[in-house]
Structure 1
Amino acid sequence: MTYTLDPELAAALQALAEQSGPAPLPERDDWQSLRAMGTAGMQWMTSLLPAYPSGYPDVKASSHTVRSRDGAEIPVRYYGKADSAPGSAVVYAHSGGMIFGSVDLYDPVIAGYVQATGVPFLSVDYRLAPDEATGTDPAEDMFAGLTWLRDQAADLGVDPNRIAVMGDSAGGGIAAGTATLARDRGIHLARQLLMYPMLDDRNLTADPRLKPYLAWTWDDNWTGWHALLGTAFRTDAVPPAAAPARLDTVEGLPPAYVEVGELDIFRAESVTYAQRLADAAIPVELHVHSGAVHGYDRLAPTSLLARRAMDDRRRVISAL
């Protein structure tokens, strides 16, 4: 039996290949080249969405700074919809394999969620590995954003008991790491929403059956995790807040929404994480999308697959 790539995704990937032409893949551990390639790809995916702010007339954003655990100042951006009554809120971490991405490049993504649901979002410009961050720094940066939002909750009209963490790819792993920190520090979270999350630094062995479909490869995964973990990479010294698949116990974690593509190297670790939560009697909603590669919603945002996934996400966000 062989896999089948979703036809709309196949067309989008073909158009991208024709537009960009052949490009050599970065060598393992060449994080600079992977960052450059990933940033260019993220810029292209952002161009597929309505421009911000003009495409989201009801969404207003304000920029702030929070202080992470080690004293570093972290930029954050708060998005709210005019005339909506917040109540709930979401803290978001963008994708980027731990080594690229920014709040600026995610402006239309976050504004789209806020426009559709009326729920405000705080987007965290966490530090990137390896030149800015190592280990648990990105999760600590996101936790600092969570703390700031809780501290400002009364002024913003947010209920501290209705705050969720959310992220995609690396950001999904960082959101899960933040949920771990929150649990261990006695901070309540309403939910964790994880889209194709990067959870397990030990996921380094290629599966030839998936190889033809990969938008994020095992070599990319090696590069991203090694950049973040440094000398702890591939050892038992990796902290679970950096790689949540290493958690000894998931007891006490918040309910989860987990979504991943069938043709994604993160499929197994996403399903395993969801299963561990279910086994601990923690409510979890899991979606494994047939024919979907990593980042399917960003690669073809108007596809039926992406629209179905977005409907599910918006439903969960609106119900916080």
Structure 2
Amino acid sequence: MTAPQRYRAAEPEARPASVPYDPELEAGLAFFLDLVERIPLRAHTILENRAHFASITPSMEVQADGRAVEWEHRTIPGPAGSPGIEVTIVRPRGSGEHDAPRPGVLGIHGGGYVLGTRFFGTGELIDLAERFGTVGVAVEYRLAPEHPAPAAAEDCFAALVWMSQNADRLGIDPARIVVSGASAGGGLTAAVSLIARDRGGPAIAGQLVGCPMIDDRNTTVSAWQYDGIGAWDRNNNDTGWDAALGADRGGERVHPYQAPARATDLSGLPPAFIEVGSAEVFRDESVDYASRIWAAGGEAELHVWSGGYHGFTGFSPDAVVSHAANDARDSWWRRILAR
């Protein structure tokens, strides 16, 4: 399998120095790097990486063992002309049809648009079901390059539509559906929010946009600071965007549903929680996206965590900065679900 590699950002005259990592995070980063550097992610290694990460992702049986949740797999309708979409639904244990409607969460996994399964993100849905009583839906969207963007965003939007249309049967309050994802999942969360706004719904109560992959151009200072460095460097980023966009990458034809940073109008979006590490590729595009939401009169809460690498809370959970990041995210969940 190969993906086009036509676009490359012009290199700066001098490479900017990278922001140092929080010393408490370095052990977790080393573990993360051991996972991702065994098979460097390039166009010709996408399939090998998929198999590797699928082999180390725990099944739902393992993830849910001993947890106060129930879960089921379903196939739901996909976008017009596409096959059905596999989803996994996660509920608090013992919830039933006579309960009051619960908040719903559409969970979108990461993986650079080329890797991963919905089980990358079901751990978050289990936690939210236990702690906040949510009903979560994890969506198995189509991956690039076999299915170029915006196929993944359209799959995730179709899952949102299904959640809204079947809210009664799912036990979901349709006025309290939140979309959540990190990395490519953060990019798809932003894309789904744009699509829902432009198509007149379904309503989204909030969007959790974690360390999002939203700008195909790969030209920010932070992108160059982590060229060959870190848990997700600019080379991996090039691989993902090449696969997602092909020959259109970097050009005028790229649509905001493919790369949300390309949106010129960020008004009318659901409240956003945007979080990112200061020591990762996606820092500057995250800050820019939040700033442009504010400039459009929108609501965004932005956290840039000092010395944080990409995905640091998952791989360095005991660090002080990870506790602070988790507390801030929990605070947003409590506030957004209480509206």
| TM value normalised by structure 1 | 0.88
Aligned to 1:62: 72
Asked if the contact 1:98–1:228 (Cα under 8 Å) also holds between the matched residues in 2, the reply is yes
Equivalents in 2 of 1:76, 1:24: separation in Å?
28
Equivalents in 2 of 1:68, 1:226: separation in Å?
24
Asked if the contact 2:277–2:310 (Cα under 8 Å) also holds between the matched residues in 1, the reply is yes
Equivalents in 2 of 1:313, 1:74: separation in Å?
29
Equivalents in 1 of 2:138, 2:237: separation in Å?
24
Specify the SS of the correspondent of 1:116: helix
Asked if the contact 1:113–1:314 (Cα under 8 Å) also holds between the matched residues in 2, the reply is no
Equivalents in 1 of 2:236, 2:80: separation in Å?
28
Q: Which runs of 5+ in 2 are unaligned?
A: 1-16
1:66-124: CA deviation from partner (whole Å, max 9, x where unpaired) = 22223321111111112465532111110000000101333333212322222121111
1:20-43: CA deviation from partner (whole Å, max 9, x where unpaired) = 6974634xxx33424534664576
Equivalents in 2 of 1:235, 1:213: separation in Å?
26
| Aligned counterpart in structure 1 of residue 85 of structure 2, from 74, 87, 93 | 74
Specify the SS of the correspondent of 1:229: helix
Equivalents in 1 of 2:256, 2:35: separation in Å?
38
Aligned to 2:161: 147
- Alignment of 1:25 with 2:40, yes or no, is yes
1:219-278: CA deviation from partner (whole Å, max 9, x where unpaired) = 111110110112221211111111000012011111100000001111111011101111
Tell me the amino acid that sits aligned with residue 162 of structure 1.
R
| Aligned counterpart in structure 2 of residue 123 of structure 1, from 138, 141, 150 | 138
Equivalents in 2 of 1:119, 1:252: separation in Å?
25
Specify the SS of the correspondent of 1:175: helix
| Aligned counterpart in structure 2 of residue 249 of structure 1, from 248, 256, 265 | 265
Aligned to 2:117: 102
Aligned to 2:285: 269
Equivalents in 2 of 1:20, 1:148: separation in Å?
35
Aligned to 1:185: 199
Equivalents in 1 of 2:40, 2:303: separation in Å?
30
Asked if the contact 1:204–1:222 (Cα under 8 Å) also holds between the matched residues in 2, the reply is no
Q: Which runs of 5+ in 1 are unaligned?
A: none
Aligned to 2:107: 92
| TM value normalised by structure 2 | 0.83
Asked if the contact 1:31–1:99 (Cα under 8 Å) also holds between the matched residues in 2, the reply is no
Specify the SS of the correspondent of 1:276: helix
Which moved further from structure 2: 286-295 or 78-87? 78-87
Equivalents in 1 of 2:318, 2:101: separation in Å?
28
Asked if the contact 1:172–1:196 (Cα under 8 Å) also holds between the matched residues in 2, the reply is yes
- Alignment of 1:170 with 2:180, yes or no, is no
Tell me the amino acid that sits aligned with residue 199 of structure 2.
R
Deviation at 1:15, TM superposition (A): 4.6
The CA RMSD over aligned residues, in Å, is 2.6
1:288-308: CA deviation from partner (whole Å, max 9, x where unpaired) = 000101111222233333333
Specify the SS of the correspondent of 2:278: strand
Asked if the contact 1:34–1:220 (Cα under 8 Å) also holds between the matched residues in 2, the reply is no
Deviation at 1:282, TM superposition (A): 1.0
Equivalents in 2 of 1:306, 1:55: separation in Å?
24
Which moved further from structure 2: 64-73 or 34-43? 34-43
Which moved further from structure 2: 111-120 or 266-275? 111-120
Tell me the amino acid that sits aligned with residue 175 of structure 1.
T
